[in-house]
């Protein structure tokens, strides 16, 4: 398989001469099976060879020992490249190096204990039962546990750089970490960070890994439920955004259908990602959305524009696959698209259109759908049922943007409106 990509016999011999050469050749075969472009092989193989050399110098003698050397190798890689001080730049570079290594490890060590992205859970060597506790005792979904991995991973990295252990944690260290993290977050994200840290520190105290409950020193920022306005955009801006989609290629055909689903039905990103071919009832012109956040399913009339966009994608853009998911990644490996990817595509087109909105993403279009229903005079109860709100409280915020009703209240006593 290596000879298919590397013409020089010297290069092939060098790869096979590495102590992880057999694993790398197997990985190249896997990349070929997954239809990865050749450029991925040329970029990833040198990284894997250097990783193998680093692991051997660091004391690894078997493939089972490779996972322990991933993060030290990435730290060494970043130091050698002398990147700028931008944390974002460092994270992007680290992820580009980490991805092929994790793919290799998953391929050669399928039973290696790690999350779905191949990276070991934060603090797994010191607090091995925490993520099992989140699933078993707290009943958290994987989508929520991803947030725990993200924020606790940042805490683990911060403590490692400061040469600090869990037993050395103090209110000052925690406060400094939250303050530093909060500089790049909005208030909602800081609240999530504080909530996750509280849960983690309570668990540490409960299992006896720390001598005092540090969760008590964490104070979340106040955020009032009805303080913010919905993140909707005008319908003319929706049309402006849709015009920016290049529907001449598979990516544009997929994204156009996704954007129409988001703004027409107010679907959540994960609901769009979960759609299957069976959810589109062409005979009855129905769209079924199953497993919503409220635990129920909804059947919508299939709008003509949405149906045509989905058909275009199925005919010209969807990869050849036997899987039943509706939307797929446009590049190898061809897997069903994720909810995060759906939101990021919406964010991409909002920015491409020059539309200025706080926290752009799929929820911007969901808010726009709801706002249009408010402007059309539908009751908040009807709107909440349409978009799958669990309680009327979730729809109340849109009462603040019902301009006609507010105008009547301002001009009269407001009794008829209320």
What whole-number distance in Å separates Cα of residue 16 and Cα of residue 35? 23
The band of 4, judged by pLDDT with boundaries at 50, 70 and 90, is confident
pLDDT at 116: 47
What CATH class does 130-217 carry? Answer: mainly alpha
Domain coordinates in residue numbering, the chain:
2-108, 130-217, 235-411
Encode pLDDT of 287-316 as tens digits: 999 877 766 788 999 999 999 999 999 999
Mention every residue, 6+ apart, whose C-beta is less than 8 A from residue 199: 134, 138, 148, 215
Task: Tell me the catalytic residues.
Answer: 268, 293, 363, 366, 389, 398
What whole-number distance in Å separates Cα of residue 385 and Cα of residue 213? 42
Mean pLDDT over the full length of the chain = 86
pTM of the model: 0.69
Encode pLDDT of 313-346 as tens digits: 999 999 988 899 999 998 888 889 999 899 999 9
| CATH fit for domain 235-411, picks 2.120.10.30, 1.10.443.10, 1.10.10.60, 3.30.70.260 | 1.10.443.10
Mention every residue, 6+ apart, whose C-beta is less than 8 A from residue 252: 245, 246, 317
Q: 12, exposed or middle or buried, with CB in 10 Å at 0-12, 13-18, 19+?
A: middle
Average pLDDT, integer, range 150-173? 87
Contact criterion met (CB below 8 Å) for 21 and 15:
yes
The band of 110, judged by pLDDT with boundaries at 50, 70 and 90, is confident
pLDDT at 142: 78
């Amino acid at each position: 398989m290596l000879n298919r990509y590397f013409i020089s016999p010297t290069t092939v011999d060098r790869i096979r001469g590495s102590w992880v050469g057999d694993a790398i050749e197997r990985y190249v075969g896997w990349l070929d099976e997954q239809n990865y472009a050749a450029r991925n092989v040329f970029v990833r193989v040198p990284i894997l060879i250097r990783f193998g050399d680093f692991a051997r110098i660091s004391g690894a003698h078997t493939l089972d020992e490779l996972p322990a050397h991933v993060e030290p190798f990435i730290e060494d890689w970043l130091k050698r490249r002398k990147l700028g001080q931008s944390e974002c730049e460092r994270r992007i570079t680290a992820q580009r190096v980490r991805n092929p290594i994790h793919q290799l490890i998953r391929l050669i060590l399928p039973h290696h204990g790690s999350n779905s992205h191949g990276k070991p859970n934060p603090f797994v060597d010191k607090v091995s039962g925490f993520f099992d506790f989140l699933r078993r005792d707290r009943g958290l979904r994987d989508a929520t546990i991803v947030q725990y991995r993200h924020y606790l991973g940042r805490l683990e990295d911060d403590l490692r750089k400061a040469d600090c252990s869990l037993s050395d944690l103090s209110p000052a260290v925690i406060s400094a970490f939250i303050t530093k993290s909060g500089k790049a977050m909005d208030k909602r994200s800081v609240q999530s960070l504080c909530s996750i840290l509280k849960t983690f520190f309570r668990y540490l105290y409960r299992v006896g890994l720390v001598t005092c409950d540090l969760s008590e020193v964490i104070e979340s920022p106040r955020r009032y439920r009805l303080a913010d306005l919905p993140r909707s955009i005008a319908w003319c801006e929706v049309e402006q955004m849709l015009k920016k989609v290049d529907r001449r290629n598979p990516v544009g055909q997929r994204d156009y259908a996704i954007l129409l689903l988001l703004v027409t039905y107010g679907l959540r990103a994960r609901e769009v990602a979960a759609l299957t071919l069976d959810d589109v009832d062409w005979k009855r012109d129905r769209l079924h959305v199953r497993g919503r956040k409220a635990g129920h399913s909804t059947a919508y009339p299939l709008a003509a524009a949405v149906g045509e966009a989905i058909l275009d994608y199925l005919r010209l853009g969807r990869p050849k696959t036997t899987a039943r998911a509706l939307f797929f990644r446009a590049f190898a490996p061809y897997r069903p698209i994720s909810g995060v990817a759906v939101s990021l595509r919406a964010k991409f087109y909002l920015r491409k259109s020059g539309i200025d909105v706080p926290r752009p993403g799929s929820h911007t279009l969901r808010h726009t759908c709801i706002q249009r229903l408010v402007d059309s005079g539908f009751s908040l109860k009807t709107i909440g049922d349409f978009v799958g709100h669990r309680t009327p409280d979730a729809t109340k915020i849109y009462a603040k943007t019902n301009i006609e009703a507010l105008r009547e209240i301002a001009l009269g006593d407001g009794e008829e409106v209320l």
